[in-house]
Structure 1
Amino acid sequence: MHLLTLICGIVLLSKAHTLRCYECLPGASGTCQDKAIECPLPGQQCAALRLTSYAGGSKLAEVNTKSCALAQECVDGSINFGISKTVISSKCCNSELCNNQFAPVPSKSIPNGKKCFQCNGKDCTGTLNCEGTEDHCISAKVTTGGESITLKGCASKLVCSHESTTMAGAAGAELSCCQGNYCNSASSTSAGLLLLVAPLVSLVALS
């Protein structure tokens, strides 16, 4: 009898640590419909994520999603290639169905004194002034139409240091980060990158 009570207690305890959150994954139309789900893992939070891409200072695309996420997946940051920029903003919470709103619109960032190389076509010797929380330099190589394109610029530490398997199966890119002014020359130190960014890099290269 005591064993049965213990087993029931463990099952109920495990259940109590699992949140119900809204899931909203955009379809082909770019919009999504909220659906209440139970998070698959204990310790996950309710999360809303906003990815905004800019080209030439104008908004190119914006994607809003909602789901369950671990605390380390709740990141804010940006990747800036000069001609284009992708900003990641997120909002996580720990109560039932608390992610009923989308992540906040990112605020306008200003130069922070850090400098990295940027590419203009095949010339990657230009200077880019990093903005906001961008404290790392980044190098990216994507292949489109059989041609390899190199992109260089600035990135936030949280984007560079955090790994996510959210879109591990998506189209990828060779990405590396380093710290220090102009460190993203021909040789850069590899670091983990938010895999969700990889298809956005491809989008930027194709635009």
Structure 2
Amino acid sequence: MHFAVLFVGCALFSTAFTLKCYECVPGADLTCTETQKTCPSSTQCAAMRVTSYAGGSKIVDVTAKSCATPAECLTGSMNFGISRTLLNSKCCTTELCNSQTVPESSSGTPNGKQCFTCNGQDCLTTLDCLGDENSCISTTTEVSGQKVSMKGCASRSFCAGSMSAQLPGISVKLDCCEGHLCNDAQSLAASLLLLVAPLLSVTLFH
């Protein structure tokens, strides 16, 4: 009898704390088909939008919907000087509440903080941070065996600790620091910058 009560109680607990959300995860072509998904407990419904700019021109605009933990509901930007990527997320806790498309993040204005960025193989060029970019970042990305270094500014929401991510054939490591011009480690090649920034952004959806 006790086991039966325990089983029914667990089943009711599981049912009560799951949430149905819309899911639309971009594929290789950065488009997706919207479906419905029952999310695990302790997650929320999330809608996200990533935009990337290079030289003032928009080069990536990706939207996604899925289940997400509260820690994954990030809003902020990563700024590498030659390119800048903005993430805007909206999370909610009611049935199918992530139906709307999230608007783009605002571009922001200089906030007085500076970090180092890479210009070719020179990673000692200074960059003015924008909006809520209050941390300096250093990234190392490996694409098909070739390592790429990037430096710049980032929002603190991306920098609760060292972050790493992985996509097929791509490995990304992101380290953050606080303080003026604190990301002044040794210079590394910064080629493929326009390729890596959008890929780093898409990683946040997974």
Question: TM (normalized to structure 1)?
Answer: 0.82
Question: What value does the CA root-mean-square deviation take over the aligned residues?
Answer: 2.5
What is the DSSP-based 3-state SS (H/G/I as helix, E as strand, rest coil) of the residue aligned with 1:42?
coil
1:168 Cα deviation after fit = 3.8
1:63 aligns with 2:62: yes
Aligned residue for 1:172, secondary structure, equals strand
Show the counterpart of 2:79: 80
Which residues of structure 2 form unaligned runs of 5+? Answer: 187-195
> What is residue 8 of structure 1 aligned with on the other side?
8
Whether the 8 Å CA contact 1:122–1:150 is kept in 2: the answer is no
Structure 1 residues 127-142: aligned runs within 5 Å: 127-142=126-141
The count of residues paired between Structure 1 and Structure 2 equals: 192
Q: Structure 1: 5+ residue runs without aligned partners?
A: 188-196
The structural deviation recorded for 1:78 is 0.8
Task: Kindly indicate whether the alpha-carbon contact (under 8 Å) linking 1:115 and 1:181 is maintained by their aligned counterparts in 2.
Answer: yes
Flag the 1:51–1:162 CA change in 2: closer, same or farther, 3 A: farther
Rounded to whole Å, the distance in 2 between the matches of 1:12 and 1:99 is 25
Residue 193 of structure 2 aligns with which residue? Answer: none
| Contact in 1 for aligned 2:20/2:95 (Cα 8 Å) | yes
Task: Rate the CA distance shift 1:145–1:23 in 2: closer, same or farther, 3 A.
Answer: closer
In structure 2, C-alpha distance between the alignment counterparts of 1:26 and 1:97, rounded to whole Å: 19
Q: Could you tell me how far apart the structure 2 residues matched to 1:92 and 1:136 are?
A: 24
Aligned to 2:23: 23
The Cα of 1:32 is off from its aligned counterpart by 1.7
C-alpha change, 1:145 and 1:67, in structure 2 (3 Å) is: closer
Pick closer, same or farther for the CA change 1:104–1:116 going to 2, 3 Å: same
Of 27-36 and 133-142, the range deviating more from structure 2:
27-36
Paired residue type of 1:22: Y
Superposed displacement of residue 5, structure 1: 3.5
Q: Aligned to 1:183, what secondary structure does the other structure show?
A: coil
Contact conserved, 1:47 with 1:68, CA < 8 A, in 2? yes
- Map of 1:193 onto structure 2: none
Distance, in Å, in 1 between the alignment partners of 2:6 and 2:136 is 53
**Residue 115 of structure 1 aligns to a residue in which SS?**
strand
1:29, distance to aligned residue in structure 2 (A): 3.9
The residue number in structure 1 matching 2:96 is 97
Question: Percent identity among equivalent residues?
Answer: 50
In structure 2, the CA distance between the partners of 1:202 and 1:33, relative to structure 1 (3 Å rule), is: closer
Task: Give, in whole Å, the separation in 1 of the partners of 2:111 and 2:171.
Answer: 29
Distance 1:131 1:62, change over 3 A: same
User: Using the alignment, how far apart are the partners of 2:200 and 2:18 within structure 1?
Assistant: 34
TM-score by length of 2: 0.83
Q: CA deviation digits over 1:119-161, x for unaligned, max 9?
A: 1111112111101111111112234575533221101111122
Name which structure has the greater RCO, CA cutoff 8 Å, separation 6+.
Answer: 2
Q: What are the Cα deviations for residues 11-70 of structure 1, in whole angstroms up to 9, with x where unaligned?
A: 11211100000110123443222111101x212100011111110111111111110011
Residue 159 of structure 2 aligns to a residue in which SS? helix
SS at structure 1 position matched to 2:127: strand
Asked if the contact 1:79/1:155 (under 8 Å) is kept, the reply is: yes
